[in-house]
Structure 1
Amino acid sequence: MPGTVQPGPGPIRIASNPIADRRGELARAVVAIQFERWPALYARYGEAGRERCVEDVGFHLLYLAEAVATDSPALFREYAAWVKVLFAGIGIPDGELGESLEILRDVVAARVDPATAERVRACVGEALAALPGLPREVPPFVRPDAPHGRLARSYMDALLAGDRRRAAALVTEQAAAGVRVSDLYLHVFQPALREIGRLWQTRAITVAHEHFATAATQAIMGQLYPAIFAAKRRGLSMVAACISGEQHEIGIRMVADFFEMAGWDSHYLGANTPVNSIVHAVRERDARILAVSATITAHVGRVAALIAAVRAELGERPPPVLVGGYPFNLVPDLWRTVGADAFAPGAAEAVAIAERLIAPAAPDRAAGAA
């Protein structure tokens, strides 16, 4: 099964996945049928376009592979919802997406074992059934009627204009005026970055805008650290990391900062952290909690592998593992599937759940997810 851990010393390896491992071959088979069925595609895109289609279908397959491995059709349905918005932004008709998913289903189901094929049909079938009713656009995340909504809008506008100094001044002035750092994180940084992600998804901005906004926000968060680290220390340690391959690190960094504001000593390892390095950090820092983030659905199996490694390597004293990120928000029980102790939908909730997980009287470690 995907996400299992090979025993013994040496690097942790994620076990074979029958779809992900063959995605290059499968993607080319899907695209060959697409170009045969729709001859206008080649006329429109040419050979370079064919290769781009292979790349795109490869991403579809990664998401399908994880949905199948975890038996979570909702994961692929929500991925199809994201793609529908993306395609609407570049003028691809909804019907073309539906037909592409049908081809994907038939190609993959014909090339895997019967049990996997059944799950493939279930996952793609749920996406196809939902597709007509899925929205073609996502509502804005920055709203003037939300807490600090006008500030969030001004902050986002400064980032999109490439004015990091203005963005920083907006935030630091509010912090000096008494606005809590936690509120700036939750009501300014978070909605602004989500809105910038939405604008990229609809092709209103480029990926360069998104990368600049993320980098600038991380730098501005650093300017708030004197306030973040001012809380009285409680002798509690935690490790926060993104799984190997995961580049979206700002969410887990916010989680680590919320632990700091609650008096914990956080050890934030950043993006794309190898499994063995995370295990070493947990042991070295005597962590009471390990917080792990996965934003990309295709990385869920790696979270399972990490949790298994932590339990195997740390023996009788593994800390509770708290997971979060986009795929865990989509599927309520996905955290149980990967073997975590709890799931937190946001940074503030992560601290509260962690406190319950380590409480001596806690009757059930998984109760933190309630």
Structure 2
Amino acid sequence: MDRREELARAVVAIQFERWPALYARYGEDGRERCVEDVGFHLLYLAEAVASDSPALFREYVAWVKILFAGIGIPDEELGESLEILRDVVAARVDPAAAARVCACVGEGLSALPGLPREAPPFVRSDAPLGALARSYMDALLAGDRRRAAALVTEATTTGATVPDLYLHVFQPSLREIGRLWQTRAITVAHEHFATAATQAIMGQLYPAIFAAERRGLSMVATCVGGEQHEIGIRMVADFFEMAGWDSHYLGANTPANSIVHTLRERNARILAVSATITAHVGRVAALIAAVRAESWEQPPRILVGGYPFNLVPDLWRTVDADAFAPGAQEAIAIAERLVGPAAPDRAAPDRAAPDRAAPDRAAGVA
């Protein structure tokens, strides 16, 4: 039993002892699910404490409140569970760590009553290409990838640009599907299908993406290990391509030494790293530390992004990055400011296909 499971079982034991009705309601299977839930609380709490960012834990509590509302768990039960978790953990760590634990959990508890019980929709009819985004999402939820692809093809013939499709169709549709899963309106299978289908459909757009004039600039894009949402950083890599960079998208679970090798091999000026959940902030810091530890003639500049970095404006400093970008378009401007201007590489041949991992090219999924 690892430390996290040990702590989670200690928290749940107190819960079930304090409120015997819980066992009557959930039973032994329910107890195990409670242990799993508290284990996730501890995982996110550990990252917030390590980053000294109570806001990270507050936003996690906001997400859990919506999730629990969808499965009928009262807010009071969540709050009492967090109080027990705080007391159990604080009693088992040193005073400095205990103070951070109390600060992080306290931030979540203070915010809990005022946090929403549902998230606003991401697909809206009044947004740019809102009607297309709705139709595209409906096709994905119906399992109709051909219809979704046809909608995209039709949109390109009537003037929609690739950036339009990425920002106003793919991104809000996938975020809305994630919201529907969070509220238990759909299953995780729906979410996985939508992501895989969208990645395959993005492949249809590569002739336009890779048509930009080369500028003699190279970048590497990756996620940290364990990420299940790689499509955001893949979109970022494609935006770099459209801006004339040579992008090298590595996806997730690429070892740090392989990332370093690719940076050297491709003479990359930028390493873009994404994390979509706060539990992975520590992995971003570890990857950056590994890159910084190498000897470089011209060290790559490191750009981070993703949900936790959007939540806490200075979190990028905590992980020792060079900068943070809230989105793909902003990432281009920030990267070019970091490395300085470069002239177009008129001698470079046009690339007909993306530099992607073989499984990605074959299956259209990361």
TM, length-normalised to structure 1: 0.90
Aligned residues: CA RMSD: 1.2
Aligned equivalent of 1:327: 308
> Counterpart of 1:258 in structure 2: which amino acid?
F
What's the offset of the Cα at 1:241? 0.2
Alignment partner of 1:58: what SS? helix
Does the alignment pair 1:78 with 2:59?
yes
CA distance, structure 1, for counterparts of residue 27 and residue 82 of structure 2: 21
Deviations 1:216-236 (A, max 9, x none): 000000010010001011111
Alignment partner of 2:251: what SS? coil
Aligned equivalent of 2:175: 194
What's the offset of the Cα at 1:178? 2.1
Does the alignment pair 1:205 with 2:186?
yes
What's the offset of the Cα at 1:46? 1.9
What's the offset of the Cα at 1:56? 1.0
Does the alignment pair 1:154 with 2:135?
yes
TM, length-normalised to structure 2: 0.91
Structure 1 residues without counterparts, runs of 5 or longer:
1-20, 362-370
CA distance, structure 1, for counterparts of residue 285 and residue 226 of structure 2: 14
Alignment partner of 1:269: what SS? strand
Identical counterparts, % of pairs: 88
Question: Which of residues 110, 120, 126 in structure 2 aligns to 1:129?
Answer: 110
Q: How does 1:1-370 map to 2 (within 5 A)?
A: 22-359=3-340
CA distance, structure 2, for counterparts of residue 337 and residue 152 of structure 1: 36
Deviations 1:199-255 (A, max 9, x none): 000011111100000000000000100100010111111000001122210000000
CA distance, structure 1, for counterparts of residue 75 and residue 36 of structure 2: 20
> Counterpart of 2:42 in structure 1: which amino acid?
L
CA distance, structure 1, for counterparts of residue 298 and residue 35 of structure 2: 45
Aligned equivalent of 2:353: none
Q: Do the aligned residues in 2 keep the contact of 1:304 with 1:338 (CA within 8 Å)?
A: yes
Is the deviation greater in 70-79 or in 270-279? Answer: 270-279
Is the deviation greater in 256-265 or in 50-59? Answer: 50-59
What's the offset of the Cα at 1:316? 4.7
CA distance, structure 1, for counterparts of residue 52 and residue 173 of structure 2: 33
> Counterpart of 1:242 in structure 2: which amino acid?
C
Aligned equivalent of 2:346: none
What's the offset of the Cα at 1:37? 1.2
> Counterpart of 2:191 in structure 1: which amino acid?
E
Q: Do the aligned residues in 2 keep the contact of 1:289 with 1:319 (CA within 8 Å)?
A: yes
What's the offset of the Cα at 1:47? 1.8
Alignment partner of 1:238: what SS? strand
Q: Do the aligned residues in 2 keep the contact of 1:245 with 1:273 (CA within 8 Å)?
A: no
What's the offset of the Cα at 1:195? 0.4
What's the offset of the Cα at 1:177? 2.1
Q: Do the aligned residues in 2 keep the contact of 1:244 with 1:275 (CA within 8 Å)?
A: no
CA distance, structure 2, for counterparts of residue 46 and residue 88 of structure 1: 20
Aligned equivalent of 1:368: none
Q: Do the aligned residues in 2 keep the contact of 1:98 with 1:131 (CA within 8 Å)?
A: yes
Q: Do the aligned residues in 2 keep the contact of 1:243 with 1:275 (CA within 8 Å)?
A: no
Structure 2 residues without counterparts, runs of 5 or longer:
343-366
CA distance, structure 1, for counterparts of residue 168 and residue 140 of structure 2: 16
CA distance, structure 1, for counterparts of residue 341 and residue 241 of structure 2: 21
The runs of at least 4 aligned residues of structure 1 exceeding 6 Å deviation read none
Aligned pair count reads 341
